[in-house]
Each structure stands twice: as C-alpha cells, then as structure tokens.
C-alpha cells in the first residue's frame, strides 16, 4: 500500500491571504471616486454634514447642492406657510410649517390670560370704587308700596335662561382656558382632568339655551332698545351720577345703559355662539388659520361680555335699590319707576280715580 501524504492545515492560508490583498487594493483604488461623490472633506469639497447613524444630508435629499441643514426649507423659519402635497383626502395635512400657529399659541397661553385679568380686573375694581364713591342708589322718596308691572313671565324666563346659561358658559370657559394655572396647584392633575372634561361638555351644551334666549329677547325687546333723544341726555349726565342722587334723567322703558347692555349681549352673544359652533365642527368651513381666528374672536368676546355682565349684575343687585324686583317678581315700586323710568311710568301708571272728600258723620255738606 502506498502511504498517503497529509497536507498541513495552514497550507491554504497563503492563497487566501493573496486574494484578500487583491480585494483590498481594488477597494482602495475605487474609494477616491466614491468619496468624490459625497465630498472627501477637502477644502474644495467643503465639510460633510452627517446625521445620527452616519447618514449624510445629501443621501436624504434630492438636491445635490445641499451641504447644511440651514439650506433645507423645512428647517428654516418662514414668514409664510410651507405646504407640500399629499395623496390623502385631508389636504390640510399638507401644511408642514405654519408660522401663524406660533402667534396663536402665544395668544392662547399668555395674551388671552393677561387680557382677561386686565379687563375683568379693571371692571371689578371700577365697580368697587364707584360703590365707595356713590354707595347704593336708594329710592329718594322711599318705597310707596304700590307695584307697577314691568316684565311678563316669558320675558323673565328668557332673561334668566340667558343669565344662567351665560354664567355656566363663563365658569366652564374659565376652567377649560385657565384651569391649568389656577386649579392644578389646588386639586392636582387627576382631579383637574375629570373637572375639565365635565366642564367641556357643560360648556358645549350650555350654548344652545343661551342662543334661544337671546333670540327671544331680540324679538321681544328690540322695539324698546332703539336709540332715542332721551338716551343722549342720560349719557351726558352719566345716568344722574354727575348731578347727585336727586337727579334722574328722563328715560323710557330702558335707559341708554340698559340699551348698551342689550345690544352687547345680543350681537356679542350671537357672534360668540357662531364662533363656538364653528369650533365644535373643526375645519368644516375653513382651515387651520381660520380656526385660529375663530378661537381668538371667541376668547376676546367672552372676556368682554363677562366684564359687561359683571357690571349688569352689580347694578341690578347691590348697586341700586329696587332694581332686582323687576326681574325677581316682574314688578317695580311706583316711586322707583318714577325716578328711573319716568317716561315709561307715564304710560304704565294706574289711572287716578277722582274721589270726593268724605263728609264726617253728623255734618251737613254745603250743597244741602
């Protein structure tokens, strides 16, 4: 038998090493061309911007001239929207950058807050100062005990429906808008989450009775709230404040101040309701920019109306004696009507029936 000669295990290593050397040389010769495509870091090519993971900016953009993230349109601050193209039906998602959104967010987080603090705070302080200056406006002649009908049941029902629904809207609106700052430190995040969720639903559903109430008041009271010459006299004398407690300008069923509140509630309330309903149906009639405008208008109107209603509540309760009776029981004292609404009182006062003087018993009248 011919003996077999075994080859050592390392006999093939030189061949493998030779092949590896050839591959290294080939890769080294091709590397300059590859580096030239993405920039070799030389002064002529400029620095290469890379992203996490080693991906170059050029490998992610179609423009070969981009060398810095500052040149990418999406990364650069814009004065106008940056809009792309999408194939889905919701075209508003094509808006990539909307600078107005930053302005709206600043208003939502800071501007509206300080506006509300300023307007409502000045109103409350002004009413407090007026009360200290004038005190409660009393009925000069005192109560007569005779009642004059002023508002019907349906008028009072509409008034209180609008009043209670607006108070509900104001409180829940303040919770949703400013509760993050005022309530979370007091009740915590979990309790605020539940509170704000309930407030949101109460706010949305309170708008409907408010709208119906102000529409009813518009139909019923518009004829009594047309500006007249008597309003100018009331305004010139600030409702009698400048003349002292004994002076009461001639007025009709509603004076100039009441007419101002009426039109503010009707027009401002309707505008606030329209913007509120549009926000309940987002993007139904407008885009992102329009929704932001609706929110700004809604918030500012809510702040102004809240301040006006606070003044209205003050004058109808603490500020003037006998005023609450008008909406509380639908009647007012006769002396109150004479002093504050004489023009209206002359059309509503009870007829005076002539009664001859009674002759004491035992005496004979001159005619006999």
Residue 245: the pLDDT is 55
Residue 343: the pLDDT is 86
Torsion-angle region of residue 244: left (phi > 0), alpha (psi -120 to 50) or beta?
left
Bridge partners for 271 per DSSP: none
3-state secondary structure of 301: helix
Q: What is the mean pLDDT for each group of 10 consecutive residues in the chain (368 residues)?
A: 48 50 48 42 45 48 62 57 66 68 85 93 95 88 91 96 96 91 90 94 95 96 91 82 64 90 96 94 85 93 96 94 94 92 82 56 55
Residue 135: the pLDDT is 87
Bridge partners for 109 per DSSP: none
Domain boundaries, given as residue ranges, for the chain: 100-151+225-348
The model scores a pTM over 0.95? no
Residue 121: the pLDDT is 95
Contact 247, 240 (CB under 8 A): yes
Residue 361: the pLDDT is 60
Contact 234, 325 (CB under 8 A): no
> Which among 249, 254, 221 is positioned nearest to 235, based on CA atoms?
249
Element (H, E) at 147: strand 147-149
Residues 6+ apart with CB under 8 A from 6: none
Q: What is the DSSP letter of 332?
A: E
Residues 6+ apart with CB under 8 A from 48: 38, 39, 41, 56, 67
Residue 302: the pLDDT is 95
Residue 34: the pLDDT is 41
Q: Say which CATH superfamily domain 100-151+225-348 falls into.
A: Transmembrane di-heme cytochromes, Chain C (1.20.950.20)
């Amino acid at each position: 038998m011919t003996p077999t000669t075994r080859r050592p295990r390392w006999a093939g290593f030189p061949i493998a090493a030779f092949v590896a050397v050839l591959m290294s040389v080939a890769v080294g010769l091709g590397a300059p061309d590859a580096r030239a495509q993405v920039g070799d870091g030389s002064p002529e090519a400029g620095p290469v911007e890379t992203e996490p993971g080693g991906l170059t900016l050029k490998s992610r953009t179609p423009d070969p001239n981009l060398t810095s993230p500052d040149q990418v349109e999406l990364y650069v601050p814009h004065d106008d929207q940056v809009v792309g193209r999408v194939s889905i039906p919701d075209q508003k998602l094509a808006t990539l950058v909307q600078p107005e959104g930053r302005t709206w967010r600043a208003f939502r987080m800071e501007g509206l807050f300080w506006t509300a603090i300023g307007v409502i705070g000045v109103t409350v302080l002004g009413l407090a100062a007026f009360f200290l200056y004038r005190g409660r406006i009393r009925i000069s002649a005192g109560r007569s005990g005779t009642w004059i009908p002023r508002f019907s049941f349906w008028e009072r029902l509409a008034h209180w429906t609008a009043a209670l629904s607006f108070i509900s809207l104001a409180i829940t609106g303040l919770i949703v808008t400013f509760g993050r700052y005022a309530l979370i430190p007091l009740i915590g995040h979990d309790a605020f989450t539940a509170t704000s969720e309930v407030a949101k639903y109460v706010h949305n559903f309170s708008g409907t009775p408010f709208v119906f109430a102000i529409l009813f008041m518009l139909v019923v009271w518009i004829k009594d709230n047309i500006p007249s010459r008597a309003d100018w006299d009331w305004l010139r004398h600030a409702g009698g404040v400048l003349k002292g407690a004994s002076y009461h300008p001639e007025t009709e069923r509603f004076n100039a101040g009441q007419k101002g509140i009426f039109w503010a509630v009707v027009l401002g309330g309707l505008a606030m309701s329209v913007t509120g309903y549009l926000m309940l149906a987002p993007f139904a009639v407008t885009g992102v920019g329009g929704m932001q405008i609706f929110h700004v208008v809604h918030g500012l109107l809510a702040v102004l109306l809240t301040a006006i209603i606070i003044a209205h509540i003050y004058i109808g309760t603490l500020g003037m004696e006998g005023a609450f009776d008008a909406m509380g029981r639908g009647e007012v004292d006769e002396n109150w009507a004479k002093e504050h609404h004489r023009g209206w009182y002359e059309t509503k006062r009870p007829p005076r029936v002539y009664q001859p003087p009674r002759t004491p018993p035992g005496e004979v009248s001159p005619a006999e």
